[in-house]
Amino acid sequence: MGRLGVSIYPEHSTPEKDKAYLSMAAKYGFSRVFTCLLSVNKPAEEIKKDFVDVISHANSLGMEVVVDVAPSVFKNLGITYDDLSFFKEIGAAGFRLDEGFNGAVEANMTYNPEGLKVEINASSDSPYIDLVEFNQPNRSTLIACHNFYPQRYSGLSFDLFKKASQKLRGYNIPIAAFVGSQEKGTYGPWPVSEGLCTLEIHRDLPIDAQARHLFATGLVDDVIVANAYASEEELKSLSEIDRNKLTFGLKMEDGVSDVEKEIIFKFKHHVRADMSEYMARSTMCRITYADADIPAGNTRDLRRGDIVVLNNEYGHYKGELHIILKDMPNNGAKNVVGRIPDYELAMLEYVVPNAKFAFTEVK
C-alpha cells in the first residue's frame, strides 16, 4: 500500500513547530518526510545542528526522512560520491537528487555501505533513467520522486507525468509525487507561495482530490504534501483515502434516502466485466437491497459524472448503482443521487471492467 508523507523546512521554522507537525502527521499514519538542503546556505556543522534534532524526532515516530540535494550541495558541504556518511550522521534514510549526474555515479551510490536510499528525479521523459539502469544499480536502494513546482503554470502536464512515470514503472522503481496543501500561509523551500504540487492541474484542488487522482493512476506509490504546514483536517482527509481503490468525490443531491446512502457509501462496489460505454454498473447491491423501498425522485436526464441508483420502477434491477459515462435521457427509473465534481471527471478514465471503486462525500 502506498505511503503518505509531509515536508518540513527547518531553515524557515523552529524545531518545536516542525516536531509538533511531524507528531500530528504520524498520528494519521504518515510515514515519509521530505526536507531540502538546496535552499540552505550554511556550513555542514550548522546544518547538522539544525537538522539532527528534527530528523531524530521523525525517526522516533517511525518516519523515513529523505533530503533533497544537488551536485552543488555535495560541493558546498564537502560530500563525495564515495563517502555519503553526512546523510547518515543527520539521521536521513536517503537523499533525493534534484539534479542528476551521468547515470554511473547514481548507480555506484546505490551501493553505499550506509544503506542510504538514492532517490532520482522522476520528472523527465529522458534517457537519464536508462543510463542509471545501464550501470546496474542496487535496486533495493533506488527510488524515484517527482518534482514540485512553486510557480503557477509551471507544473507537469499529465501527459509528461504519465510518460515519465511509465518509464520508471518499466524498471519497477518505486515512485513518489507531491500534492499541495490549500491552507493559507504555507511555504516551501523558496519565497514563492503560489501552491506546491507535481501536476499543474492539481494546483487549486482540494488536497484529497489531488491524492486520490495520483493513486488512481497506478503510477505513484507514495504521496507527499509539499508545503508546510498542512492543516490537521487535510492530513486526516488524506489518511482516510483507500489507496488501493478508485475513490471518487461525490457531491450529494438533496433528498437522498438513507437506503440510497447505504448503497452509495457502505456497499463494496465493482464494475461489471461487461461494461457499457454509457455507464459502469455495480449490480450486486440490487440483491442486497431487493426488498428495499426506493421511490422515484430526481429523475432528470443524465450527464457524464452523475451517480444514480435505480428506483422501484426498474423492478428486478432496483438498487443497482451506476456511474454515468455518457450523457443520455432518463427513463424515470434512475434516481440521480449525486455527481462527481467536474475537477475529478478525468478520473473516469480509470473506470474499467472489474474495477473496485468507492465514494467520499465532498461539498
Q: Does residue 194 carry a pLDDT above 80?
A: yes
Residue with cell 443524465: 302
Residue with cell 474499467: 352
- For position 177, which CATH number holds? 3.20.20.70
Q: Are residues 231 and 340 in the same domain?
A: no
Q: Are residues 262 and 223 in the same domain?
A: no
Q: Are residues 140 and 286 in the same domain?
A: no
**Does the CA dihedral 246-252-253-255 come out positive or negative?**
positive
Pick from 241, 149, 135, 344: nearest CA to 307: 344
By percentage, how much of the chain surpasses pLDDT 90? 89
SS3 sequence, 35-88?
EECCCCCCCHHHHHHHHHHHHHHHHHCCCEEEEEECHHHHHHHCCECCECHHHH
Q: Are residues 214 and 350 in the same domain?
A: no
Q: What nine digits make up the cell of 54? A: 528534527
Residue 202: strand, helix, or coil? helix
Q: What domain count does the chain have?
A: 2
Q: Are residues 233 and 271 in the same domain?
A: no
Once rounded to an integer, what is the mean pLDDT over residues 83-91? 95
Once rounded to an integer, what is the mean pLDDT over residues 203-223? 97
**What stretches of 122-260 adopt beta strand conformation (E)?**
142-145, 175-179, 222-225, 246-252
Pick from 66, 95, 65: nearest CA to 79: 95
Read off the pTM.
Answer: 0.95
| Domain of 151, in residue numbers | 4-243
C-alpha span between 12 and 15 (Å, rounded): 10
In sequence order, what DSSP letters do the residues of 123-159 get, joined into one string? ---STHHHHHHHT---GGGEEEE-----STT-SBPHH
**What average pLDDT is seen over the chain?**
96
The pLDDT tens digits of the residues spanning 121-179 come to 999 989 999 999 999 999 999 999 999 999 999 999 999 999 999 999 999 999 999 99
Q: Are residues 221 and 263 in the same domain?
A: no
The pLDDT tens digits of the residues spanning 246-274 come to 999 999 999 999 999 999 999 999 999 99
End-of-domain residue from the set 196, 216, 243 = 243
In this prediction, residue 47 carries a pLDDT of 85
pLDDT band of residue 191 (cuts 50, 70, 90) is: confident
Q: Does residue 39 carry a pLDDT above 80?
A: no
Q: Are residues 239 and 262 in the same domain?
A: no
Q: How many residues does the chain have?
A: 363
Residue type at position 159 = D
- For position 296, which CATH number holds? 2.40.100.10
Q: Are residues 103 and 42 in the same domain?
A: yes
End-of-domain residue from the set 243, 261, 279 = 243
- Partners of residue 249 on adjacent β-strands: 360
DSSP class of residue 228?
B
Q: Are residues 238 and 254 in the same domain?
A: no
In this prediction, residue 1 carries a pLDDT of 64
Q: Are residues 231 and 271 in the same domain?
A: no
End-of-domain residue from the set 243, 266, 286 = 243
Q: Are residues 99 and 194 in the same domain?
A: yes
The pLDDT tens digits of the residues spanning 295-342 come to 999 999 999 999 999 999 999 999 999 999 999 999 999 999 999 999
Q: Does residue 348 carry a pLDDT above 90?
A: yes
Q: Are residues 290 and 179 in the same domain?
A: no
Q: Does residue 100 carry a pLDDT above 90?
A: no
